[in-house]
Amino acid sequence: MSVKRALLLSTGDRYIVIGLNFVTVAAVSRVLTPEEIGISVISLAILGIALSAREFASSSFMIQRPVLSREDIRGTFSLMLALTAAIAAFLVVAAPALASSFHEEKLVPYLRLVSVCLFVELVPIQVVTLMRREMAFGKVAMINVAGAATGGAATVALALTGFSYMSFAWAWLASSTVTGVLALALRPDFWMFKPTFKQWRRIAAFGGYNGAIVFLYRAYEALPLLLLGRVLSPHAAALFSRGLTVCQIPDKLILGGAMAVVLPAFSASARQGGDLKRSYLHAIEIITGLHWPALLAVAALSYPVVDIALGHQWQAVAPLVQVIALASLFTFSFELNHPVMMAMGSIRDMFVRSLIVVPVSAVVMTTAVLLAGLMGAALSLMFIVPFQAFVSLSFVRRRLSLRWDEIAVAVRKSGVVAALTTLGPLAMVVAGRFSFDLSLGQAIFAGCLAAAGWLVGVFVTGHPLFDEIVNAGRIFRNAVAPT
Instruction: Give the pLDDT mean for 61-71.
Output: 70
Residue 79, pLDDT score: 85
Residue 435, pLDDT score: 87
Chain centroid offset of residue 165 CA:
22
Instruction: Give the pLDDT mean for 352-363.
Output: 93
Residue 449 lies in a domain: no
Residue 71 lies in a domain: yes
Residue 73 lies in a domain: yes
Residue 466, pLDDT score: 85
Q: Provide the pLDDT confidence category of residue 468 given band limits of 50, 70 and 90.
A: confident
Instruction: Give the pLDDT mean for 433-440.
Output: 87
Residue 172, pLDDT score: 96
Residue 243 lies in a domain: no
Are 130 and 77 in contact, with CB atoms under 8 Å apart?
no
Q: Provide the pLDDT confidence category of residue 480 given band limits of 50, 70 and 90.
A: low
Residue 16 lies in a domain: yes
pLDDT digits (tens, 9 = 90+) for 92-115: 999 999 999 998 999 999 999 999
Q: Select from 352, 350, 341 the least CA-distant residue to 262.
A: 341
Residue 197, pLDDT score: 79
Are 210 and 60 in contact, with CB atoms under 8 Å apart?
yes
Could you write out the three-class secondary structure of the chain?
Answer: CCHHHHHHHHHHHHHHHHHHHHHHHHHHHHHCCHHHHHHHHHHHHHHHHHHHHHHHHCCHHHHHCCCCCHHHHHHHHHHHHHHHHHHHHHHHHHHHHHHHHCCCCCHHHHHHHHHHHHHHCHHHHHHHHHHHHCCCHHHHHHHHHHHHHHHHHHHHHHHHCCCCCHHHHHHHHHHHHHHHHHHHHHCCCHHHHCCCCCCHHHHHHHHHHHHHHHHHHHHHHHHHHHHHHHHHCHHHHHHHHHHHHHHCHHHHHHHCCHHHHHHHHHHHHHHCCCCHHHHHHHHHHHHHHHHHHHHHHHHHCHHHHHHHHCCHHHHHHHHHHHHHHHHHHHHCCHHHHHHHHHHCCCHHHHHHHHHHHHHHHHHHHHHHHHHHHHHHHHHHHHHHHHHHHHHHHHHHHHHHCCCHHHHHHHHHHHHHHHHHHHHHHHHHHHHCCCCCCCCHHHHHHHHHHHHHHHHHHHHHHCCHHHHHHHHHHHHHHHHHCCC
CA–CA dist 167, 28 (Å, integer):
10
CA–CA dist 470, 461 (Å, integer):
15
Which residue range is the domain that position 205 belongs to? Answer: 1-223
pLDDT digits (tens, 9 = 90+) for 440-464: 899 999 999 999 999 999 999 999 8
CA–CA dist 328, 172 (Å, integer):
29
Instruction: Give the pLDDT mean for 135-160.
Output: 91
Residue 111 lies in a domain: yes
Q: Provide the pLDDT confidence category of residue 282 given band limits of 50, 70 and 90.
A: confident
Taken as a whole, the chain contains a residue count of 483
Are 70 and 191 in contact, with CB atoms under 8 Å apart?
yes
CA–CA dist 300, 50 (Å, integer):
37
Residue 26 lies in a domain: yes
Residue 238, pLDDT score: 96
CA–CA dist 183, 180 (Å, integer):
5
Least confident of 4-13, 95-104, 192-201, 277-286: 4-13
pLDDT digits (tens, 9 = 90+) for 392-403: 999 988 888 889
pLDDT of residue 476 exceeding 90, the answer is no
pLDDT of residue 4 exceeding 70, the answer is no
CA–CA dist 105, 216 (Å, integer):
27
pLDDT digits (tens, 9 = 90+) for 151-209: 999 999 999 999 999 999 999 999 999 999 999 999 988 888 888 877 767 766 666 67
Residue 104 lies in a domain: yes
CA–CA dist 309, 5 (Å, integer):
32
pLDDT of residue 150 exceeding 80, the answer is yes
Residue 194, pLDDT score: 85
CA–CA dist 240, 354 (Å, integer):
23
Instruction: Give the pLDDT mean for 366-383.
Output: 96
Residue 276, pLDDT score: 76
Q: Provide the pLDDT confidence category of residue 421 given band limits of 50, 70 and 90.
A: very high
Give the total number of structural domains in the chain: 1
171-188 per-residue burial string, b: 16 or more CB within 10 A, e: under 16: bbbbbbbbbbebbeebbe
Q: Provide the pLDDT confidence category of residue 298 given band limits of 50, 70 and 90.
A: very high
Residue 270, pLDDT score: 53
Residue 374, pLDDT score: 96
CA–CA dist 58, 45 (Å, integer):
20
Instruction: Give the pLDDT mean for 322-346.
Output: 85
